[in-house]
């Protein structure tokens, strides 16, 4: 029995034949981030010492990019984007032997670069899509003290994974986790040179992310 042409669109709709699949689109979005960071310090000289501190980093970010979906059903795609994020961390006061201290350890963190994710839609419905993502981002990190001069910048790369949903074709929501892989190192000399050289290591260890994107 042959299927009449006039019933073909209805059959495709019933089978989810790509009529409501996610489409390729440009996007812009905002991100909230919260996670853990580590401060490590080591000082040399007559009284060498070291200190490790962890603290919470909170901040916001923006992404601009393009979602490229493959095939009529749009179950698999790639996402390409550029990003900028800013966060604030207070590691508290660090004191060595009552003589040397880093007393204002509140840092701004700027991250920037480009990234690419694999998109997999597990469900393509009439009004929504639900899927997962994972990928890699490359760029730079700049740590700079709120009450101090200058800053320190280094190359950074990170991995990220999460869950995403597209609603009514133009709104996308996602939650995920990103893990930066490299620390930023700073070297200097304590005031007066009493304890000679010191070195600091600043690293964002992980971050929980929640984002909204508008798809054009």
Using only C-alpha atoms, the chain has a radius of gyration, in whole angstroms, of: 24
Cα(19)–Cα(10) distance, integer angstroms: 10
User: Which pLDDT tens digits describe the chain residue by residue (216 residues)?
Assistant: 454 454 444 443 444 444 467 899 999 999 999 999 999 888 776 667 777 889 999 999 999 999 999 998 899 999 999 999 999 999 887 665 555 566 668 899 999 999 999 999 999 888 789 999 999 999 999 998 887 666 899 999 999 999 999 998 899 999 999 999 999 988 776 555 455 677 889 999 999 999 999 999
Cα(57)–Cα(87) distance, integer angstroms: 6
């Amino acid at each position: 029995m042959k299927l009449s042409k006039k019933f073909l669109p209805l059959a495709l709709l019933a089978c989810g034949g790509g009529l409501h699949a996610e489409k390729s689109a440009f996007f812009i979005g905002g991100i909230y981030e919260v996670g853990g960071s580590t401060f490590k310090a080591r000082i040399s000289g007559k009284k060498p010492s070291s200190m490790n501190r962890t603290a919470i980093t909170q901040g916001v970010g923006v992404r601009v990019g393009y979602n490229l979906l493959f095939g009529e059903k749009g179950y698999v795609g790639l996402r390409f984007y550029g990003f900028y994020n800013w966060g604030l961390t207070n590691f508290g006061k660090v004191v060595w032997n009552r003589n040397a201290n880093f007393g204002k350890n509140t840092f701004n963190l700027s991250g920037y670069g480009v990234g690419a994710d694999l998109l997999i839609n597990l469900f393509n419905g009439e009004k929504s899509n639900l899927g997962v993502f994972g990928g890699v981002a490359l760029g730079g990190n700049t740590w700079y003290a709120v009450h101090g001069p200058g800053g320190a910048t280094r190359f950074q790369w990170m991995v990220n994974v999460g869950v995403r949903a597209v609603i009514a074709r133009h709104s996308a929501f996602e939650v995920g986790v990103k893990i930066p892989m490299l620390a930023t190192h700073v070297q200097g000399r304590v005031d007066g040179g009493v304890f000679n050289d010191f070195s600091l290591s600043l690293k964002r260890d992980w971050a929980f992310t929640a984002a909204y994107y508008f798809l054009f």
